[in-house]
Structure 1
C-alpha cells in the first residue's frame, strides 16, 4: 500500500510503500522525547517528495541513524541508516502519515536505551 505523509507545515513531504503491520516505540533518549512510533522499511521504499534546505539532520551516540526533522516546524517525520549498501532502512514516524488510524497499528516496545 502507498502511504503519504509530511511534517506539520508540509515542507517535508514523503511517500512510503509497504505493508504497515506494526510500529516500534523506542525508549532511547531521542525517541522517547519525540514520542515517535516508527515503522521500519527498506530505504528505497521511502520517497522524499519535498525537502530542500528544510530537512535537518541530527545524529548522536554511535552516529548510525540520521534523525531527520523539518527546520521550520520541528517535526521529525523519519530517520534513516547512514550506512552505505542495499540493507539500509528508513524509519517512518507513523504519526506523520496522513489519515492513518493509529489505534489500529500494533506497537512493539523496543529497549533502545540498552542497545
Structure 2
C-alpha cells in the first residue's frame, strides 16, 4: 500500500561533484528535510532520511573527510577533492543517514513535502 504523496520504494545512485564518492540509497521519499542549524544553513542542503540498511557506499571511503561540532554526535561527510557534502550520519537517529538529494542522479524533488527541522535549538 502506498501512502498518499509518497513514491514507490526505489534505488538511487548519487555522488559528490568530482565523482570520487559514490553511493546508493533505497527510499520512497516520504518527506524531505531542511535544517536550520549552523552547518545546514551554510550548506543549504535538502535531505532525505535513510536507514543505514538502505545506504551503500559504492566508492570513495578514502576520499571522505569527516566534520563534527557541538555535541560531536552527528558525523558530516565531505569529499576531500571537491568539497561537496553528500551525506551525514544523524545525531538524533544515529542508525540513519541524512542524504543530500541534490547529489542524487536523475532525481527531481518536486511534489515531495519539505519539513523544516529545528536543529538550531537542539541542546
Within the candidate set 20, 24, 35, 1:15 is matched to 24
- The separation in 2 between residues aligned to 1:48 and 1:112, in whole angstroms, is 26
- The separation in 2 between residues aligned to 1:37 and 1:21, in whole angstroms, is 13
Larger Rg, first or second structure (1 or 2): 2
The aligned counterpart of 2:118 is 111
- The separation in 1 between residues aligned to 2:14 and 2:112, in whole angstroms, is 16
> Aligned-residue CA RMSD in angstroms?
1.6
TM-score under structure 1 length normalisation: 0.91
Query: After the TM superposition, which segments of 4 or more aligned residues of structure 1 sit over 3 Å from their partners?
Result: none
Deviation string, structure 1 residues 47-97 (Cα, Å, up to 9, x no partner): 0101132111000000111000100000000001479xxx61111011111
The aligned counterpart of 1:4 is 13
- The separation in 2 between residues aligned to 1:77 and 1:62, in whole angstroms, is 21
Cα drift, residue 21 of structure 1? 2.1
- Tell me the secondary structure at the aligned position of residue 102 of structure 1: coil
- Tell me the secondary structure at the aligned position of residue 15 of structure 1: strand
Is residue 97 of structure 2 the alignment partner of residue 90 of structure 1? yes
Residues 36/18 of structure 1: CA separation in 2 closer, same or farther (3 Å cut): same
Instruction: Give ranges in structure 1 of 5+ residues lacking alignment.
Output: none
